Structure formats: C-alpha cells, structure tokens
Structure 1
C-alpha cells in the first residue's frame, strides 16, 4: 500500500494507466488534426474545381455573369445594391441579362424579398452567386436557397429571364408555338405560367372595372372556333361588348343569348344611370329609355354612321371586335377559357395609346407588376 502518493506516484497503477490513456488520446488527437487539415485542403480544392465547372456550365447555358460587380461585393449582402440598381428602360434589354432580370423582378415586386429564415427565424442576406449569375438567400444557421424558392414562382421551375420572356411574349400576343420555339421547351413548362397570368389579370380587371359613363357604344358578336371538328356555321360563343368613348375602355362578356332579359342587366351593372347608349337596331335594346338610358341607334342595313348625326355610330366597338378576335384566335384557336382571354384583351387595350411597340410592351409589363403585387398581398391575407 502506498503511504505517500506524491512521492510514490510512479508505483500507482491508476496513475500509470491514466497517463498511458492520456498519451494515447494526444496521439489520436494529433492524427485527427492532421486528417482534418488534409480534408479541409481537399475540400477547398474540390470547391474551386466545382465553381469553375459550374461557371462553365452557366456560360454554356447562356447565362451572363456581370463583370461590373466587384468580387468583394459578391460576398456581402446585396439587398441595397439590388434595390438601387439602375434598370434599362427597355424591357427587351432586361431579359437579355440574368442579373438585370433578377433585379427587375425584385424592384417591381414580382418577387418579394425575404427578411427572416424559415428555419431559425434569423435575419437572412441576399448574395450574388457568380456561378450562375443569380441570387441566393443565406442565413447564419447554414440555410441557403434561391431567391425564387419559397415564392409563387417556385412551382414553375423557371429562372427570372425565362419568366419575363414568357410574360412578354404572352402579353404581346405571341402564339404558343412561337413561345415554344424561342424557349426551346415543351408546353408543360410555360402553360402553367400563362394560366397564372390570365387568372391574375382577369380577377384584377373585373374587380377594378370602373362604371362606364358619358357615351357608350354597345354591340354583340359571335366568336367562332377554328377547330376542324366544329360544325359549319355553328356559333360557339355570343359575346356582348361595351365601349366608353371618353376613357376609351372596353368590356366584353360571354352571354348565353341576345335577349333583353340577358343584355339589359349587364348594361345596368356596367354603366352609370343616365349613360347615353348607342347601338344598332337590335330589338333587345328598344326599352333602354325605360331603364333610364338615353338611346340612339344606327341602321346597319343602310349606314355605318347615322346620317343625321356623325356622332351616332358603333365604329369603336366594331373595331374592338376585330382586334379581339384577331388577338384571341392567335393564342386560343378553340376558344377555351374565352372569358379570361376577353378580360385580358380589355385590360391590354388601355396601353394601345403608346406610339411605339417597345414603350407599349414595357408599360404592359410594369402594369402587370402592379397587378401582381396586389395579387400577392391578397393571397397573403387569405393565408393569414
């Protein structure tokens, strides 16, 4: 038995075993440190190689990495940079550049910026990924995702350039085959996005349609499908239309028939009391004065304009019919979901005052952005 432990420490089996274990642990720890350092170096080497390959792949896919961005900026939160970024006036200049497309979607509200991480509720930053020329969110907890993820665009699997390209082509009346050829993709990729665009615009147009006033032209027209299976001379849809001269706004609605009981309630719904109505001599309009609407007619079997007054005509609504049928048939030959296309056409007519097509298209996109911001706010309220 050891009486003095401090003097006879070397004779204590417990101390000897502890010292041996300690030495073994030190050796194992050093080995682990060397292994960890080697793995870190290998990880850095592979990461650099991965980024080079990723950049090559991005360039091969047509993405463009903005050379004007400082490399130091790529490592910091770019929310302020994106919000202050000057965007080209022409939308066609925007969609040719991935960086500008992303900035455009953020600035116009098509994409709402995230402030907090969904995992830890911590603050997130927006960082530019030079490998693909796009933005990612990053959080201190390690969570990272593309800025289009966790948004309404996530289900469409499209980047910002393709989203804006589809938006422009659809709103400008391009045929589905033209969109397909330009994007080199199947209809499964862009059709769902087209449905969203139509839905958003249609709901907004109906909800914000002002009451017609002043002088309003009315008429009804038949929309016939170009489908080969359609019977000869068969009317697919009857559409009733109203055109207000003062603000140059138009409204069109599918009707089941052209009877007085069908058309008069629509006029009462759309027009303010006392609005002057101009139409052809269709019998369903004869009782309009009884409902408080001054009514003037033109005999289309003899004249296009009333010979007693040059102001009594329906030329504006007739022209609108021509444009509506032309634009809708380009995108919807079988007249499927015709009412949404009619709302889309009526909404687009307000942008026809611009002199050149580029300015008109840019105004169309910006108008849609305002509508989409309102749509996202309403969707959030519904979720809450």
Structure 2
C-alpha cells in the first residue's frame, strides 16, 4: 500500500520519530515556524523508547528497559515541558553462581562474592591488590583486569561482554568497559545522576506531546525514499543509519541488535518476581544477558500477573549498538566527511553519528544541533530565523 502523503508540502522532512527526530521537529516547528513532515518506517513514534500498556495494565518497554537519568538541567527542563515524572532509581543485580550481587560492583558485591570483609576505606587497596598493572590498556579485557583483577573480570565481565557483542573482550576497544564504575561504598543504584525518573504516563505519551504541533505532520510505516519523493521539502533532518543514507558507499557500519522474549507469569501473592527491576546474567551458560521486570517501573501495586522481558543479543535485526572497534570508527569517519558536504541535510542522533547515546545525551545533542543548524535550516527553507524560545 502506498504511504499516506502529507496534506501540504513540508519545508523540512525529518526521518525518524525517536528522540533526535522528534526534538528536532519540535524545535523547527515552534522556533522557526516551518512546516515539518516526520516519517518513521516503524508503525509507532518514540523510537526504541516506545512503551505501551499490556492487557494486564503493565507498561511494557518494547525494546528493552529505558531508564531516564540526567545531570543536565537544560535537558530535564526541555523534556519536562511534555511530561510529568515518576521518581525512580534503577537497581540491578548480577546472577553469579548462586548469588544475586549488586552491579555496578560495590562494597557489598566484593564482600559477598570474595569474602573480603572490607569497610569503605579498604576497597581501593583491595582492588589495587587484585589488579594486573600494564603499560598500555588497549582492549576491553585490559581495562578491567588492569583495574580490578582477573577474578572480577571472569565473574562479571568476560561472559557478559562476549554475549553482548559477539566478540571476545580482547577484540573490543577499552572504552567498552573502561568507564564502568566501581563503588567504594554501599550505593547500589545503577545510576548516580542528579535526576532519575520515568515519564509519568510513559515515553510514548511524552513523544505524542512533543510532536503535537500544528506545523508538524507525522507519517508512520513510511520509508525515507517514499517520503522524499512527495514531501516537497527544502531541508532534510536525517536520524537513520548514515551508511544507509549514502548507499553504503564505504561499506556497512556494523551493529549489534537485540531480541526480546516477553513472558507473563502469575504472581498469586501480588508481589514481583525479581527483587529489583533488572537481573544480569554474566555467565555464558545462560543465553540471555538480562531479565527485566516491568512492574518495578510503576508505582507499587499488587497484581496477579507480572511481565518479564528476557533479552538476547543478536547479529541481525534493528541496529541498537555501534560495535566499538577502530576499523568501524574509521569507516564512520569516511561517512562523516561525506556528510559535511551536504548543507541541505542535518545528521543527528545515534544512528546518523554512529554513537551509543543515552536518552539524556541524545536529547542534549538534538538541542545543540538545532542551535548550531537553525540558521542553515531556515536558509534552506528560505525563511528568516525567528527568535529562539
């Protein structure tokens, strides 16, 4: 079936209705007063943050858990225009042997797993004693072993990384594991950002409000090529895979994907099944990497059923994670050089820039990109730049 065509020509065509595309569309529509057509090949808005209520009233994150956290007041203030928030601090356990242990690794993790009997002041010394110092930290394995030692690496990192990326940690950049924190206290929160919360009515409702502007039209289930032929646009904002845009001139940029097995289980007593919202499984003896229980993401309420998502990394499917290897970064740089020759196109977002970005980061990037490119976009549309809101 042919895509639904816009009711009027668009000044700007935005490809992708996730964070980058929706925020760019809202800024262009409200600040520049330009007509915007937003298209997405999926049948829904909100990108990978898409959520929905299941038949039991449990809000499901279709593409895995999305936990919003930020230190940027600007980012929080912008999104707060479109949603109220439910405070939520995410906690994760790792299933190691017969134990469920806090991650990121903290004082309790070390004491429970290794019987170390440490106090807060002892953790750094203990880690230093386990560490294997090396002159050059090159790989994801090096980054852990040089800081925490071989036992911690084998228990918590090696198997999980091999499953997640389909590669041995020795084949991945040190950046994969270098920034994973170790806590010297008992703080078992997964994030420590100042602001941690979930949209009170869900991400999809927040996106609907972002895109609810008289200058914005949204067409779902529509490919970029189909829309470009009919939009009548003067400028393009592209948030899809940059190699796909350039017809993979320099070869494909590789990604890891995910598949999800959503299961409903009875909870006769009304309680949740997992002690926290997410349990990770580092062992390669278990095929999935983590299990999420979505009831933790809502205010506590006894229910007869719970919803669990079992997550499996995959080499095929929707692109989720750029694979961090030097050859891939170099290939992206070739596309980046090509992108800079296109003044009629603004590339923004994790796929267009081949980056893994948290939701606060992609929000910040979209706001910064609009500020940088507003004059170019307005000139492309042959309209003067309005005063920024």
Q: By percentage of residues, which structure has more helix?
A: 1
Which has the bigger relative contact order, CA under 8 A and spacing at least 6?
A: 2
Same fold (TM over 0.5): no
* TM-score bucket of the superposed structures, by smaller chain: under 0.3
Q: TM-score, normalised by structure 2?
A: 0.22
Q: By percentage of residues, which structure has more strand?
A: 2
